[in-house]
Amino acid sequence: MFCGTKSPMLGRLPFFDYYRPTTLAETLTAMERLDGNLCVLAGGTDLLVAMKERRGTHPALLDIKAVPELAGIRADNGTLCLGATVTTRAVAASPLVRERVPVLCQSLKLLGSMQIGNRATIGGNLSNGSPASDSAPPLLALGASVKLVGKAKERWVPLDNFFIGPKKTVIEGELLVEVRVPASPGGRGIFYKLGPRNAPEDICIVSAAVYGVPDGETGAWKELRIALGAVAPTPIRARIAEERLKGQPLEPKLVDEAARIAADKDAQPISDIRGSADYRREMVYVLVKRALEQIARDNPGAT
Ligand SMILES: Cc1cc2nc3c(=O)[nH]c(=O)nc-3n(C[C@H](O)[C@H](O)[C@H](O)COP(=O)(O)OP(=O)(O)OC[C@H]3O[C@@H](n4cnc5c(N)ncnc54)[C@H](O)[C@@H]3O)c2cc1C
């Protein structure tokens, strides 16, 4: 049985049983044996803060950081495979990720301070289900999927169907094992994050990612996707704006119209301590317009 030290800011961690399996098989056996009476612990940057703030207590924590099958970054033909426990900073610094999908490096470089980025995992950032997650918009725009493994079953879920509400995902007592990102040759992406003025690496007020593959012959774009953070109960695709852009070159008038659609029709922001709904809507317009203009320019993508 473990218990954390006392923090003057956040209070004491409640007692919990602590398990640290060293293989995926051991992890799945422990999950089955504990039958839902556990919480997966990855980097702990969300979970331990929540526990100290008494926003959740768990009788047992299953620490997955020592499971080798959940670690590592590799390429499988045209797909990039990210283990669930790879830290967000390791993804941001990976030459392979930079070469295949630089837009993901761009977003994860901005996730938290260096200390947070060195603990926070890509699996934890998605499983936590925050509408303001920094990894979600680029991964949605890239068309990523996640592998979930549970009691005697496993399934692949497109990220489009993964988030179902604030802090809610489709995970049902399962482990997120891997994130798969298709990396189309010639694809261009850009991520913009609007954070608090004195702490750009903090949780975003609004974020936007755009990804597409230019079709050299027609000047139109294939797979042009727009994703938004912190302007709806979950990270979202701006599908109405995407539809407006389908099959057409990114001309300035059309870009302006699509950005306005993303702000007025796709985004469903609320007002909270980080910003008002009206401000967020206006910032969606600004960020989406800038991102579309940026990928339309003749440069090889974001770095
Ligand atoms: C000071 C501070 C600044 C931050 N700034 C940012 C920021 O700028 N941008 C941003 O996006 N986030 C930010 N965060 C939030 C946080 O760092 C991220 O959400 C982080 O990526 C969570 O990953 P973790 O490995 O720490 O998850 P944990 O805290 O270990 O887990 C989070 C949740 O996911 C579940 N979980 C974790 N891994 C798995 C898995 N493989 N399968 C199933 N369930 C799993 C856990 O059970 C838990 O419910 C910040 C946090 C702090 C404290």
pLDDT(298) > 60: no
Distance CA 158, CA 7 (A): 39
Which atom of ligand 1 lies closest to the CA of 45? Answer: 26
Tokens of 135: 């990894």
Q: What residues are paired with 56 via a beta bridge?
A: none
Residue 200 is predicted with a pLDDT of 59
On the 0-12 / 13-18 / 19+ scale of CB atoms within 10 A, 302 is buried
Q: 32 C-alpha to center of ligand 1: Å?
A: 23
Sorted by sequence, the CB contacts under 8 Å of residue 154 that are 6+ apart come out as 147, 148, 177
Residue to substitute in 40, 69, 139 for testing ligand 1 pocket (most ligand atoms within 8 angstroms of CB)? 40
Distance CA 128, CA 147 (A): 15
Residue 226 is predicted with a pLDDT of 98
Which atom of ligand 1 lies closest to the CA of 116? Answer: 17
- The mean-pLDDT minimum among 11-20, 83-92, 237-246, 290-299 falls in 290-299
Q: What percent of the chain has pLDDT above 90?
A: 80
The average confidence (pLDDT) of the chain is: 92
Q: What's the pLDDT band for 194 if we cut at 50, 70, 90? A: very high
Residue 9 is predicted with a pLDDT of 59
pLDDT(141) > 50: yes
Closest residue by Cα to atom 36, ligand 1, is 124
| Residue carrying the six token digits 């995926």 | 24
Sorted by sequence, the CB contacts under 8 Å of residue 234 that are 6+ apart come out as 129, 131, 163, 164, 165, 166, 168
CB of 90 shorter than 6 A to ligand 1: no
Q: What is the pLDDT of residues 218-261, one digit of tens each?
A: 888 988 999 999 999 999 999 999 999 999 999 999 999 999 99
Average pLDDT (38-57) is 92
Strands 39-41 and 60-63: parallel
pLDDT(301) > 50: no
Q: Which residues of 67-95 are buried (b: 16+ CB within 10 A; e: fewer)?
A: bebbbebeeeeeebbbbbbbbbbbbbebe
Which fold is adopted by the domain 68-182?
Answer: 3.30.465
CB of 62 shorter than 6 A to ligand 1: no
CB of 63 shorter than 6 A to ligand 1: no
205 close to 283: Cβ distance less than 8 angstroms: yes
Q: Which CATH class is domain 17-63?
A: alpha beta
What is the model's pTM? 0.94
Which atom of ligand 1 lies closest to the CA of 204? Answer: 8
Average pLDDT (42-63) is 92
Distance CA 18, CA 59 (A): 9
Helix (H, G, I), strand (E, B) or coil at 31: helix
Which atom of ligand 1 lies closest to the CA of 70? Answer: 41
Strands 221-229 and 39-41: unpaired
Q: 224 C-alpha to center of ligand 1: Å?
A: 28
Q: What is the pLDDT of residues 148-190, one digit of tens each?
A: 999 889 999 999 999 999 999 999 999 999 999 998 888 999 9
Tell me if the domain spanning 188-296 has CATH number 3.30.390.50: yes
More confident of the two residues 199 and 157? 157
pLDDT(195) > 90: no
The alpha carbon of 134 is separated from its chain's Cα centroid by a whole number of angstroms, namely: 5
CB of 107 shorter than 6 A to ligand 1: no
Distance CA 126, CA 219 (A): 34
Could you state, in order of their start, the residue ranges of all structural domains in the chain?
17-63, 68-182, 188-296
Distance CA 35, CA 109 (A): 36
Average pLDDT (50-57) is 86
DSSP class of residue 53 equals: T
Angle between helices 252-261 and 277-296 (to 10 degrees): 150
